[in-house]
Structure 1
Amino acid sequence: MRKGRLVLQGPGEICTNTDAGEHVLLAPGDDTDAQTVLDWLQSFDVAGLYTGAIANAVDYVLDGARTGRYSLLAPDVHPGERASVGAKLEYEVLRSFGLPKEAPLDTLIEKVPVDIKATVGANWAIPSEAHCQLCICTQIQLGKSRHRSWLVRAHRSWLYRGKGNKDGKRGLAVDARALWSIPLYDWTPLPVNPLTLLTPEQAGRVLAKRPGQEQRFTMMFRYLEGHIIPRSVISTVGAGKLDPLRRARNIRRHLARDGLTLLCGKWRDQQDLAAAHKITLGPEDWVALRLEGGLTHDG
């Protein structure tokens, strides 16, 4: 099969890798190690764990509590920072699945070496040590807030030819991914930072240095009535300020003037009130809702 200058060899043919030696290309169903890794992964909610891991990696790169940034697509985010999401994601995935960081690649799954790769573009940079090895390849589409992953053996015969980038990394042929990889899960939504739902004018007011935090938190919850506000968003709006969570708790009386009740998932009764409105609050989530009678206590 021809893809540009690359002629893809199929299962049953010989892969000529000068490092790993000549070996037969196996279809995923015939690759014992791939099936071992797949069996292990199937005991997990892979899509759910990856969703959380990606969200944590993005939050880490944006560092909203110090920078006030909330979108990787913002012009003040350097392309190199976007690319670094993949490097951080590796460690988030290891932590989420309880996997060790262990050579020769990123980890071992049932004693099988596995490399963990991610891209915010259309392809992955496969390093020379991972050629012909098993890789979990994740594609993140920031503009559409979604992601998907495959398990694939990155045979050298299935990588684009040439010397690769300055580190010798080479991209995986699209047809190889389509034909001889194992999809782990299809497109899955990523959490949308509620600050991205604000108009530019609203965002400018909420993230301005003045007025103080309480006034800006009040504006944010008014603008985002009914939307779950994670703790990370509170920290972003209060970037560089002291104790933004306490400031957020202090705004209940301001919201009450507009008929809004501020709920915090730290408290079980407030979780129950949110659930009655079909909203699931995590222990560090907040939401402003219109409730009859308000709260029985301030929490």
Structure 2
Amino acid sequence: MEPFDRIMDQMTLRADFLVDRRRLKRSLALWRLLAIAAAVALVAGLAFQSDDFATAIGYKPHIARVNISGLIREDTDREEMLKDIAKSKHVKAVILRVNSPGGTTVGGESLHRAIQNLRKKKPVVAVFSTVATSAAYMAGIASDHVIARGSSITGSVGVILQWAEVTELLGKLGIKMEEVKSGALKAIPSPFQPLDEAGRALTQEMVSESQKWFVDLVAKSRSIDPGAIPGLTEGRIYSGRQALKLKLIDQLGGEDDAIAWLEEKRKIEKDLKVIDWKAKESQSTDWLRITAKSVAIWTGLPATALDKLFAPGNALERVQLDGLVSVWHAQTN
């Protein structure tokens, strides 16, 4: 055989070897993927047979727990979550754990309505923790049954409209506000001018109308005469024990008592697990928290220094409140 022909034969054999090797690699990769998929399917199958795992991800009958904490504002993500709970065939009942001083009146109104819609599909029990006042009480009484601790703080049925009047401060800074309005009552109340009698009367009329709506809502939800309850129309607070005597709540106790009531009165299956359902958090708040903590670390401050700022009911939430507010302001030093 000529040298040239020998070289060509060797090159052909090498090419065939490379092609076969590539085919073998592809075949091995395919079998690896199939083996991994089979292993994942096996683990998933075994996991779904586990009651604890299946319940934890919502694929077994359970009681849904929804936490309502911090300052209440209108929250479309939470309302969507409540709709999902109502639709879920695996959720047999709902416990609302409420620990909130209230929030915006609109936030309480929208949450009250969302809970009313939920209870058309599932039995709902509200469990009041340390505080459940104003808009939080408004939300809680939309449930089928209301439970509170004896020392819980509740009530505070009322509406507030607050603003800062800063004309004196601006004057000291040498700043004068000018404006052109379409009418005398436009932009009233305003932080940039003292409130006159017409503006005060208008503002009081709006607050009083909202207060009447709130009181009527309590009267209807609790089947009570508001005038017969000391301080109710004046916005006072009550302990859980006082609230029970005045029929503002139904029972003293906690979550175990809520489960017992569901089992006895609504015939919910015994020993169902209670699983937390959580709405999606606001992405803007997440980014603000991450950015603030990054700055704290970069400047040498402990990352925990900002935890209180982003905790439920924090100062950041309070400055974001706007419009009519139904919130109990605890005195702080």
TM-score, normalised with respect to structure 1? 0.22
Q: Which structure is larger by alpha-carbon Rg, 1 or 2?
A: 2
Quick check: which one's helix share is greater?
2
Larger RCO of the pair (alpha carbons < 8 Å, separation 6+): 2
Q: Structure 2 length as normaliser, TM-score?
A: 0.21
